[in-house]
A and B are shown apart, each in its own frame.
Chain A
Amino acid sequence: MNRATRFSLALLALAGAAGVAAWVMTAPATLDAAELATLPQGDAERGERVFWASGCASCHAREGATGDDMLELAGGLELETDFGTFVAPNISMHPTDGIGDWSAADLANAMLRGVSPDGRHYYPAFPYASYARMEMGDVADLYAFMRTLPEVEGRASGNALAFPYTIRRGVGLWKAMHLDEGPVLALPDEDDTVARGQYLVEGPGHCGECHTPRDFTGGLDTSRWLAGGPSMEGPGRIPNITPSADGIGSWSEFEIAAYLESGFTPDFDSAGGRMAAVIRNLARLPEEDRQAIAAYLKAIPAQP
């Protein structure tokens, strides 16, 4: 073997090792047995509250659905982004078109790890990067509630993505950078109300997915938490909701909680865009949850 050949072989081995490392690094990681053992028996009644707090209906019910139609999770909503169009699938209890044959563990893996029952990555358009902060008990309750929902027939069309985003395995890299189940903010001297608000906003409420600007890798720039920015899909901007002059610093806690229930701003303009569906969900929560969210939004650092 001459020197050049040896060198090429070494290089090839190195590239191979890097490839293997990348392949291993991007492998979908599910919850392990010990974690799944903490999944309790769910309670459907409590699960309804989790359902409204986490806004599944905003994406998985038919677009613009109100009232009981919000419980028909047929999918079909199209999210048009720079990466292509994501389509929310049918997650009704239909055994073949929906997720009627899923176990609670399947749902937990999807919501907390972004992994499907057949071991593939979901795209983070499904906001599991936020749901990853949810408690096992809440996922179990949500599962119990979803089992009471109707079966809806029909599959939504698949995603229409641009290369290289069509490669699901690549999501593993994104997860390595951005999937973090710890709290976003460390708030000093949190009282119970603010702590509840923090859980709701950073976890199930997934408010940051729209209200926090993203960096070039598509991850949330948490140093600008809830500071608003350009909309990920479609024209327009998402407002800053931190307590600053550019945000909602002039809104009282009462006014924030009232907005989350009725959509009325302190100036009695009425909320629109994607926020309208968010409010239809939040309006179904007990008053104390909206107050907790308002208290948290008052307690976080102001952003310009």
Chain B
Amino acid sequence: MIGAEIETRMETFMRIALLAATTLVLTMSAAGADIIEERQAIMKERGDIMRVLGPIAQGQQPFDADTVLAALERMNENALGDSIMDYFPEGTETGGDTRATPAVWEDSEAFVEIETTYSANIQAAVDAAPGDLDEFRAAFGPIAAQCGACHERFRTQQ
């Protein structure tokens, strides 16, 4: 009798534990998926801003100081500086359609350093408020170089 009761209790306990564990796993992976989407959205916005600044730097579009400064300010807000690892927590190495390479976690110091340099270069460009195409190109070059430096090691080839 008592044995049976304990068994039922055990069963209930197990069920609850199982449920809790499942919920935890589900929320965790949902959070993981969310954060992958979130960081991808940040990168996409960088692409949007580049589509404004790139053609100007290449001389495909006319230089306009206001347009350039507005884009640089938007870029500054989007930059993550040394907090970039908040968007690459453990557990998000895979999942979604992430193209982050294992090096992001294995050598996060180098990864963070690139984002920090990138952010500092943008801040410098905003402070300089480029007044003509040459000034803009001088400020833009070092920013753009960090995109390639990061994609070289930290994004998988297409």
Write out the residue numbers on chain A whose beta carbons fall within 8 Å of the beta carbon of B158: 236-239, 273
Q: Which of A231, A234, A258, A270 contacts B148 (CB 8 A)?
A: A270
Write out the residue numbers on chain B whose beta carbons fall within 8 Å of the beta carbon of A237: 157-158
Stretch at the interface among A154-162, A170-178, A259-267: A259-267
B contacts with A: majority SS: helix
Q: Does A192 contact B (CB under 8 A)?
A: no
Write out the residue numbers on chain B whose beta carbons fall within 8 Å of the beta carbon of A235: 156-157
**With A and B bound together, what is the CA distance between A247 and B144 in angstroms?**
24
Write out the residue numbers on chain B whose beta carbons fall within 8 Å of the beta carbon of A274: 152, 157
**With A and B bound together, what is the CA distance between A279 and B154 in angstroms?**
17
Write out the residue numbers on chain A whose beta carbons fall within 8 Å of the beta carbon of B55: 268
Stretch at the interface among B15-23, B29-37, B46-54, B128-136: B46-54
Residues B141-158 near A (CB distance < 8 A): 144-145, 147-158
On whether the beta carbons of B155 and A273 are closer than 8 Å, the reply is yes
Looking at B58, B145, B156, B157, the one whose CB has the most chain A CB atoms below 10 A away is B157
Known: A262-B144, A264-B50, A268-B54. A64 touches B152 (CB 8 A): yes
Known: A64-B152, A276-B152. A270 touches B147 (CB 8 A): yes
Q: Does A272 contact B (CB under 8 A)?
A: yes
A267 CB to closest chain B CB (Å) equals 7
On whether the beta carbons of A273 and B148 are closer than 8 Å, the reply is no
Write out the residue numbers on chain B whose beta carbons fall within 8 Å of the beta carbon of A276: 148-149, 151-152
**With A and B bound together, what is the CA distance between A268 and B158 in angstroms?**
15
**With A and B bound together, what is the CA distance between A66 and B47 in angstroms?**
24
Q: Does A292 contact B (CB under 8 A)?
A: no
B74 CB to closest chain A CB (Å) equals 14
On whether the beta carbons of A272 and B47 are closer than 8 Å, the reply is no
Question: Which residue of the partner chain B has the closest CB to A236?
Answer: B157
Q: Mind listing 25 A-B residue pairs with CB under 8 Å?
A: A64-B149, A66-B149, A231-B157, A235-B156, A236-B157, A237-B158, A238-B158, A258-B58, A262-B58, A263-B144, A264-B54, A264-B58, A264-B144, A268-B50, A268-B55, A270-B50, A270-B151, A271-B148, A272-B150, A272-B151, A272-B154, A273-B151, A273-B152, A273-B158, A276-B148
